[in-house]
Structure 1
């Protein structure tokens, strides 16, 4: 299957990055509701930056990390999107779920400091999508 290129003003691109965020101290705080809220916030951030969130899933067994597959616009940096996503989701999740998170975090934390970003070139996008979809499945 041929990869499709997105058209922009002066370029045609296929820039897909697999990103992983890990919770601070790897505390098992991700549940279905928080996963849903994080994904919705990330979709909105992507749309505002001409990017597209192709796939997203938290590991609901370990409950400590989430995978995102993002199709980037050529003029948007990975670090800018990641910083925005981590800042917005951390602030909103801590505000909305303060009581739930209180036993885990005594300071305004949610995400671990760093992140993982891997270009989609090493494996087919379908393989990456299947990997993300399988997160949290015990098989």
Structure 2
């Protein structure tokens, strides 16, 4: 597990200031126990490259035998579904190609990842604080 920048960073564009983070979880097809440390390290390297191509940053990565967790800081122009499709597609291609002996026949010749995934927005103030802040605005009468 490698730790990346921990400070809150705001992305500044021509018309937007943002700080968007998403927590993603991908599970292997049939929850197959395919990952070891070497494979997780390679998976992380692939995910970093894909994130870079979306102008996003992989802030944290880790996994177990059958799933991976990612924390990604991304710009507002990125659609999470497109990022997920690319992360899963590119990693599937390279992991099956480079670790053929480790993945079972079902994964070698079929999908590497389960078609579903978990995504949650995260970071920033708790929702209760944001709600209270909005409620406290001085509305014109």
Unpaired stretches in structure 2, ≥5 consecutive residues: 1-6, 127-141
**By percentage of residues, which structure has more strand?**
2
Question: Paired residue for 1:65?
Answer: 67
Conservation of the 8 A alpha-carbon contact between 1:94 and 1:108: no
Instruction: Give the Å deviation of 1:101.
Output: 1.2
Aligned to 1:40, the other structure's residue is in SS state helix
Question: Paired residue for 1:136?
Answer: none
Conservation of the 8 A alpha-carbon contact between 1:27 and 1:104: no
CA, structure 1 residues 18+107, in 2 after alignment: closer, same or farther (shift >3 Å)? same
Question: Paired residue for 1:8?
Answer: 13
Question: Paired residue for 1:56?
Answer: 61
Give 1:100's match in structure 2, choosing from 99, 102, 121: 102
CA distance in 2, matches of 1:49, 1:84: 9
CA RMSD of aligned residues (A): 2.2
Could you say which structure has the larger radius of gyration?
2
Give 2:85's match in structure 1, choosing from 59, 68, 83: 83
Give 2:45's match in structure 1, choosing from 33, 40, 49: 40
Residue correspondences, number: 121
Conservation of the 8 A alpha-carbon contact between 2:10 and 2:18: yes
Instruction: Give the Å deviation of 1:67.
Output: 0.2
**Normalized against structure 1, the TM-score is what?**
0.79
- Over 6 Å off, 4+ runs: none
Question: Paired residue for 1:25?
Answer: 30
Unpaired stretches in structure 1, ≥5 consecutive residues: 125-139
**Normalized against structure 2, the TM-score is what?**
0.78
